[in-house]
Amino acid sequence: MALSIYNTLTKQKAPLKPLEGNHIRMYVCGMTVYDFCHIGHARVMVAFDVIARWLRHSGYELTYIRNVTDIDDKIIKRAQENGETFQVLTERMIAAMHEDERKLAVLPPDQEPRASEHVEGMHRMIQTLIDKGYAYAPGNGDVYYRVGKFEGYGKLSRKKIEDLRIGARIEVDESKEDPLDFVLWKGVKPGEPSWASPWGDGRPGWHIECSVMSTCCLGDTFDIHGGGPDLVFPHHENEIAQSEAATGKPYAAAWMHAGAVRVDGEKMSKSLGNFFTIRDVLEKYHPEVVRYLLVASHYRSSINYSEDNLREAKSALERFYNGLKGLPVVPANGGEEFSARFATAMDDDFNTPEACAVLFDMVREVNRLRESDLNAAAALAARLRELAEVLGILQLEADAFLQAGSEVDAEQIEALIAARKQARADKDWAESDRIRDELQAMGVVLEDKQGVTTWRLG
């Protein structure tokens, strides 16, 4: 089965056909780094991390670019509130973002361009748009894009220009020809960072940043452009308009968008008091529990973030790790049917819920094999871990996950288990039972199989 993906532009699934040989070029809109990343950011990070992992697992040569927006209105406002430069703020937030990603097992992109490093490229694209009549400088330091001149405007979001004009307004200090025109370059304002430009000192508009960074890193036309659900309009729509007008070529062959995160059924919002940073969540839950919650749903679907769903994710991982616990380390072997089913699921627009279902079937078979053939169980468990790595889960030692957050003394437990083993060898059943009772009082559940004793917290 060929790998198929859902294209937001065409609103249908189609086989992925690289534009150039076996090489996939993918650009994903990254974070605006004025604050700590929230759980919605984690959704996008993890979704495209899984997509990148599967593309590489499938044998594609992948170039994965995810930008950083390190200059915009929110960043300037926050830096002024903090009494610091925008560079100091963004460096701190980028470092925090990378720390959050590492905890969630998100692999870094191949390149992470920053908007502030591509200002000259933005000048060149803006000048090209002016020369072609798609942009204009009214003389107040700003430069605007003529939305009405681009015939394909609205093709991604399915919005019509005439509908958008209803209710559109022009701010008092703007000099737009049309209310729908958007800013490419903003003239300098007092107290704000600025760069010299042919139109006067100022700074870039948000939309031009990604058009320039993506084409600089990947060329005028590339395979996949991705991002969060809130970016389809206007950000991605404006990117298409800018880029295709400037280059005269199609921009991205396919568009992919992750689903939204809802909190207890409601949209996440600071005003509703249901806004959670990644750091907030990781104070209460193991990072792999959070990642599993995110990969257990299809990347295009909405995720309901709730305490109940996090507890279910934790329980699911405990089932996996209890199945993996105590097995000898052997090379992966067997499980071809499971591997084929897993690949079929992932090739169907990265269907991670179905892929997780395959992993559950595998751990059930591992548990069945334990009773008769420990080596066969271990070989299948190794295969399970290989597949799970594509989802970024089940790569820890089982005990490390199962005992995470516990205040019990693992060394003490192991010593008691060893003492119980010796008591059983000495046929001192009373002492053996006493130790088992002591461990049970500590919340430790023992499992004796084929002469091997493993434990977990009950």
Per-residue buried b or exposed e for 349-358, using 16+ beta carbons within 10 Å of the residue's own CB: bbbbeebbeb
Residue 270, marked binder:
yes
Please give the structure tokens belonging to residue 407: 């205040």
Contact call for residues 125 and 211 (beta carbons, < 8 A): yes
Q: How many CB atoms lie within 10 A of CB 247?
A: 16
User: Which tokens belong to 59?
Assistant: 């044998």
Residue type, 284: K
Asked whether residue 37 is marked as a ligand-binding residue, the answer is no
Structure-block tokens of residue 62: 């992948």
Kindly state the tokens that stand for 42. 């984690």
User: CA torsion, points 205, 211, 212, 218, in degrees to nearest 10?
Assistant: 160
Note whether 44 and 300 are within 8 A (CB). no
Contact in structure between 261 and 254 (CB atoms under 8 Å): no
Asked whether residue 216 is marked as a ligand-binding residue, the answer is no
Structure tokens belonging to residue 109: 């992109």
377 touches 330 (CB < 8 A) = no
Q: What are phi and psi of 269, to 5 degrees?
A: -155, 140
- The answer to whether residues 194 and 132 touch, using CB atoms and an 8 Å cutoff, is no
Q: What is the DSSP string of 134-151?
A: SEE--SSS-EEE-GGG-T
Query: What DSSP string describes 87-125?
Result: HHHHHHHHHHHHHHHHHTTPPPPSB--BGGG-HHHHHHH
35, 78 contact by CB (below 8 A): yes
Rounded-to-integer distance, Cα 90 and Cα 95, Å: 8
Question: Residues annotated as binding site?
Answer: 29, 210, 235, 239, 270
Q: Which residues are annotated as a binding site for ATP?
A: 270
Binding residues for Zn(2+): 29, 210, 235, 239
